[in-house]
Amino acid sequence: MIGLIGNHGAPEGRARIYLDKIEKTFTEKGHLFTVLGLDYRPQQSQMAQSVAASLVGSQSLLFEAGTGVGKSLAYLIPGLIYSIDFERPFVVSTHTISLQEQIIQKDLELCRQLFTAVPELNAYANFKSALLLGKANYCCTTRLESALKDVASDPQGQFQLLQEKQMIPQLAEWSKSSTEGILQEINPSPSMDVWEAINADSSTCSRKNCSSEHCFYQRAKEKIQSAHCIVINHSLLFSLINAGMSPQESDGKGVLFADDFIVLDEAHRVPAIASDHFGIHLSSYALDRALKRIFNPRTNRGMLRRLGSIRDQECVIQAIEAAYDFFADLADVYLSTQSIRRIHQAHAADQQLISRLKAVEERLADLRKSVDDERAQDELKDQRSRILNYRSQLHSFLNFAEDNHVYWLERSEKKAMTITLRSAPLDIAPHLQRALFERNTASILTSATLSNGQQLTHFEERVGAQNAQKKIVSSPFDYKNKVRIYIASDAPQPSRDQGRMDLDYLANMVAWLAHNCQGGSLVLFTSHADLKETYQRARGFFHKIKRPLFAQGIDYSRSELRQRLLAAGNATLLGADSFWTGVDIPGPALSQVIITRLPFENPNHPINEARSEHIKGRGGQPFSEMVIPEALIKFRQGIGRLIRTQSDTGNLVILDSRMLQKHYGSHFIQALPHQNYKRFNLQNRKSIVKKSYLEMP
């Protein structure tokens, strides 16, 4: 990077000049409002100046900014100016694609407009930004050329199906006009076999074989290296950190790149995503695919068809059979009656598969020494690395290699039964401390919901950020006059023996509430099973009143459901876990949010069960220390779907009487946007709810 600001003397002097620029931009008569015409929001100004101070002091920060604060500009503008002034990379990590797109397509362009329009900020107008994707998202033109040659010269080559062979020339044509060369550009998407053969996730795609002039990935890599602002998602961030991609110099300064600083938006998702990536995730499907890429006995395809002997192929066949037996035994013993099962002791299964995988590794290593073709050597090296990784995960799982981890099995049956070995840390805080808060740089975590509505104690302990600065600013929206809140006092409380009555009540209430709301409704569930049952019970009524009814997992993808809800204007969407957060539907198309149940996590899931035992073991109370705080964050996220702009109005309806009848209900009432709620039931809903709906502005 090239710094655009000269040396202004002592570091304190440069820092003061930098802080003055941020203050002048965000004050009531600052550049952001006088030049771009945006509304002044004191909360946004507070956040921007807190971010700037954090960067200057290399001090980590937890900042909760309520919906409507404009938090992305509050960290992007200080971050970009600091990046250029002090020649340091600026990383922005998000959870959802929608926020990534907003940052890249809208917010960064607003920053550029501001810098261009304000003379004293002109030096920043040419900032560079880049989106960081995983290697497997990019097409490697070198591998694509090899695949083209393979299709032309060997009819019995790596592609079995005619459409796969036809797809390779089509992809070659696409690559000539593509600017980014990423999988997301291609519609329809190529098969997994085709994409795995040509993507950049290979040793072949290296500076030795590929130039940035022709290779999409090498070009993207150069763009990342010269960028001031790099945008990434949480999943890839923690995957790279766990793979050892953090700076390894003696001072270890930086989270992902040397001397960088980072903002993690949508940070309420960080503990769960990090837990996924600091544990084991090995599926029967992934291992079977990896082995059959080496040699598939059914199709007589794979790299060993041309590079290996019959003996080599037989070694892979034995590993495939051992893997099948291994996972089938796990399914029979542990998963015949349930889809998730915690494993309490090591050596839960026979370890023969480990030795079979080791034999495959050794064969691939010997073959690599015996072949002269460099690209064949690269492919053999990559396949050996994959098998080594799977063997390492398998060994760790069977031997409980990591202390303070919980181990479990999962079964899913989408196309075929898949068994997955899983593990996760009991406490993610030490891992996040090392990854984010002990890197001699500023790590800034922000979201509209980091707290329980009043304090950040639970979240800071969960992520290991006790030494970070903390700040909460409320939303600038007028919730008291914009949101009407109703709590059902007669909703049957969840129990096994009244499940049907509960669902009948739920379907009745959802249908009635949606029918009496002119705009669209989002109905949030904690159970996919309840969602599907409610859909089946209510669909006839919605058909009769000619109102669209959509349901997650039944009709369309998540993004398509959002678009259809937005387009219809008066539709009802039943959504589960992923719709509680990150869904932005402004205007009348979302005029009502219905929360069917308080969002308590399943206490029987292995992670929750083990964390509960861990808390009890040190004399704590799991319900108050873990269950309630995490449910409150999700509850507040669900509520946050309703009001997205200053002009939005709507209804918040909670169909869970535990808020009124249980001692812990007061925590959820305190988390409401305001306390002026109304109780209602089946008998009086017309006089209380419908009358209010008619009076809504």
Q: Domain locations in the chain?
A: 40-128+227-275+429-473, 135-214, 283-418, 479-695
pTM of the complete model:
0.92
Copy the structure tokens of residue 252: 């270890």
Q: Does the pLDDT at position 662 exceed 60? A: yes
461-480 confidence digits (pLDDT tens): 999 999 999 999 999 999 99
Q: What would you report as the CA-atom Rg of the chain, rounded to the nearest whole angstrom?
A: 27
Cis check: omega of the bond before 425, within 30 degrees of 0: no
Copy the structure tokens of residue 79: 């971050």
pLDDT of residue 500: 52
CA distance 20 to 16: 6
pLDDT of residue 496: 60
Strands 61-65 and 469-473: parallel
pLDDT of residue 695: 54
Residue 568's φ and ψ, nearest 5 degrees, are -70, -40
Q: Give which of 489, 450, 454 is closest to 468, Cα–Cα.
A: 450
CA distance 423 to 406: 5
> Sorting pLDDT into bands at 50, 70 and 90, what band is 582?
confident
pLDDT of residue 27: 94
Alpha-carbon distances of 570 from 507, 516, 647, 696, rounded to whole Å: 18, 11, 18, 16
CATH class of 40-128+227-275+429-473: alpha beta
CA distance 81 to 510: 49
Q: Does the pLDDT at position 445 exceed 90? A: yes
pLDDT of residue 8: 33
Stated length of the chain: 697
110-161 confidence digits (pLDDT tens): 999 999 999 999 999 999 999 999 999 999 999 999 888 888 776 666 676 7
Phi-psi region of 302 (alpha: psi -120 to 50; beta: other; left: phi over 0): left
Burial 380-405 (b: 16+ CB within 10 A, else e): bbbbbebbbebbebbebbbebebeeb
201-256 confidence digits (pLDDT tens): 999 999 888 988 889 999 999 999 999 999 999 999 999 999 988 887 656 799 99
Q: Which helix (H) or strand (E) holds 270?
A: helix 270-277
CATH class of 479-695: alpha beta
Strands 281-283 and 417-425: antiparallel
Instruction: Say if residues 484 and 652 touch (Cβ distance below 8 Å).
Output: yes
CA distance 376 to 455: 57
CA distance 381 to 303: 12
> Sorting pLDDT into bands at 50, 70 and 90, what band is 4?
very low
What mean pLDDT is predicted for residues 89-102?
Answer: 93
pLDDT of residue 318: 97
Average pLDDT, the chain: 92
Domains 40-128+227-275+429-473 and 479-695 equal at CATH topology level: yes
Residue 681's φ and ψ, nearest 5 degrees, are -150, 180
Phi-psi region of 582 (alpha: psi -120 to 50; beta: other; left: phi over 0): left
Quick one: what percent of the chain has pLDDT higher than 70?
95
Q: Which helix (H) or strand (E) holds 568?
A: helix 558-568
